[in-house]
Amino acid sequence: MSEAILEAYAVTAGYVPDLPILRDVSVTVQPGQITLIIGPNGAGKSTLIKAIAGLLPVSGGHITFAGRDITGIRTDQLSAHGIAYVPQTDNIFRSLTIRQNLDLALRRAGSEAAARMGLLFDQFPALAAKQRDKAGTLSGGQRQFLAIAMALATGPRLILMDEPSAGLSPKAAQEVLEHARALTARGVSILLVEQNVNQALRLADHCFILAEGRNQIDGPAEDLRDNKVVGEIYLGNRRVGAA
Ligand SMILES: Nc1ncnc2c1ncn2[C@@H]1O[C@H](COP(=O)(O)OP(=O)(O)OP(=O)(O)O)[C@@H](O)[C@H]1O
Ligand SMILES: [Mg+2]
């Protein structure tokens, strides 16, 4: 196996001191792959993404990206390191136009901003057609595409995506997930949290299952499809490795 681009090793983190939500959680992302994180509500999936993105203090373990220690990274330094984060909620500015949203995402691109905006509009023609409209008028799927376009604006090597298909129709969810897949063909690596488990397992390369803030099982996504243990973890009947 090639060297991981992202490694979170034995991460312990939470929102309040001495009250860890994640305990000793480890995940790795291989370059150019989609690594999926699934687990029941409240499992700690978003918390893990936030810990990687430097939004929460990490009290144990460490996180490396492209061979560098990024544990406790300042969130405003993420894009300089080549990481973009698409949050689970509030990931666009609804009262601004599509173009204004992208302007914000491109604010550090300097003289390259116009060219990059053009490339993003080539990639997302539906957004180009509506660029003067308020982002709040977009469909749910288009809003997620705008959030992904904003993430891509910084030219990331890794995108952290937290439930990009939440609340979308099955068709729109499939489009968003297929777009994520297409990004990996260009060398972008993705750490993807999803609740559309079956859809996501068909697209992802590797999958980690979390429950109650701990690793449960992980493996190649195709091996976890139709796996009985996966269903049992969701139904709450099974905990692997929990104290
Ligand atoms: N801002 C916060 N302050 C304190 N506790 C929080 C905060 N956000 C989440 N938690 C707690 O952390 C735990 C894990 O939440 P998290 O949002 O990481 O779960 P999740 O796996 O992303 O769930 P979901 O599938 O519902 O998005 C939950 O017990 C939750 O109540
Ligand atoms: Mg979440």
pLDDT tens digits along 135-170: 999 999 999 999 999 999 999 999 999 999 998 999
pLDDT of amino acid 228: 81
From the CA of 227, how far away is ligand 2's center (Å)? 23
From the CA of 86, how far away is ligand 2's center (Å)? 12
pLDDT exceeds 90 at position 242: no
Q: Using the 8-state DSSP alphabet, how is residue 2 labeled?
A: P
Q: What class does CATH assign to 6-87+155-235?
A: alpha beta
pLDDT of amino acid 51: 97
pLDDT of amino acid 122: 96
| Burial category of 191 from C-beta neighbours within 10 Å (exposed 0-12, middle 13-18, buried 19 and up) | buried
Could you read off the pLDDT of 12-28 as tens digits, one per residue?
999 998 899 999 999 99
CA dihedral 190→193→195→201, nearest 10 degrees, is 40
pLDDT of amino acid 229: 79
pLDDT of amino acid 238: 58
Around ligand 1, the residues with Cβ closer than 6 Å are 15, 21, 39, 41-47, 88, 195
235 versus 189: the higher-pLDDT residue is 189
pLDDT of amino acid 239: 57
pLDDT of amino acid 129: 97
Residue 68 CB: number of other CB atoms within 10 A?
Answer: 9
Q: Domain residue spans in the chain?
A: 6-87+155-235
pLDDT exceeds 50 at position 243: no
Packing angle, helices 140-152 and 98-105, rounded to 10:
30
Q: What is the mean pLDDT of residues 96-110?
A: 95
From the CA of 46, how far away is ligand 1's center (Å)? 7
pLDDT of amino acid 2: 66
Could you read off the pLDDT of 185-215 as tens digits, one per residue?
999 999 999 988 989 999 999 999 999 999 9
The H or E element containing residue 152 is helix 140-152
Q: What is the mean pLDDT of residues 209-231?
A: 90
Collapsing DSSP to helix, strand or coil, 158 comes out as: strand
Q: What is the mean pLDDT of residues 39-60?
A: 96
Q: How far from 10 is each of 4, 149, 151, 162, CA to CA, in Å?
A: 15, 32, 27, 21
Pocket test for ligand 1, best of 12, 21, 196 (most atoms within 8 A of CB): 21
Q: How far from 75 is each of 2, 104, 194, CA to CA, in Å?
A: 27, 16, 22
Task: Please provide the size of the chain in residues.
Answer: 243
- Closest ligand to residue 210's CA: 1
Pocket test for ligand 1, best of 11, 15, 233 (most atoms within 8 A of CB): 15
